[in-house]
Amino acid sequence: MLGTYLNLSPRAVPLATNAHGKPCISVEINRAGLKFNLSHCDRLALLAVTSGREIGVDLQGTLQEAAWPAVAGRFCTPDEWEWVQALPPETRAPAFAEIWTRKEAIAKAVGEGLTSRIFSIAVDPADWGMVDCGGGLFVWSIPAQDQLAAAIAVQQPL
């Protein structure tokens, strides 16, 4: 896909990484300022490509009922945790998966990895539309297959 955008064969696309290990296209060949991000889960993949905007995507399976509370308790804001806990038990894991994919997409867009700063950003579970995370960063959920959650985050150029 990147080769198509750059008018190169796929093997000729020069990839590099930023200081935090996020894959990127080498500056020398990337005159269009393309940015991309890729996520996969099982046999599915989610790819996003932009021009001049940082991008992050995440695709995840819903965590097992026994596994998600430990992750959520560590990475949700207090309001997110309270919101998830108030849901009927059978909807908590999928709701947390929506929150988690949004946070992962944010982490990938800003290219910092899973830092505590990323997880302090509230992704507003009361409104599953686009969320303004501040600083020109926006995130929203993408419809996905059953038992999957997906999200995309885009950094507006300064």
Instruction: Give yes or no: residues 30 and 64 share one domain.
Output: no
Q: Which helix (H) or strand (E) holds 74?
A: helix 68-75
Per-residue model confidence (pLDDT) at position 116: 58
Cross-strand partners of 44: 41
Q: What is the pTM for the complete model shown?
A: 0.87
pLDDT-based confidence at residue 124 (cuts at 50, 70, 90): low
Q: State the residue range of the domain holding 81.
A: 57-155
Instruction: Give yes or no: residues 115 and 140 share one domain.
Output: yes
Cross-strand partners of 61: 148
Instruction: Give yes or no: residues 70 and 145 share one domain.
Output: yes
Per-residue model confidence (pLDDT) at position 46: 94
Structure token pair of residue 12? 């000729």
Query: Taking a C-beta distance cutoff of 8 angstroms, is the pair 51, 35 a contact?
Result: yes
20-24, 66-70, 107-111: least confident range: 66-70
pLDDT of 45 over the 80 cut? yes
Per-residue model confidence (pLDDT) at position 134: 82
Per-residue model confidence (pLDDT) at position 25: 93
Residue 61 exposure: Cα atoms within 13 Å on the Cβ side: 8
pLDDT of 48 over the 90 cut? yes
We report the CATH number of the domain holding residue 148 as 3.90.470.20
Q: Total domain count for the chain?
A: 2
Per-residue model confidence (pLDDT) at position 80: 87
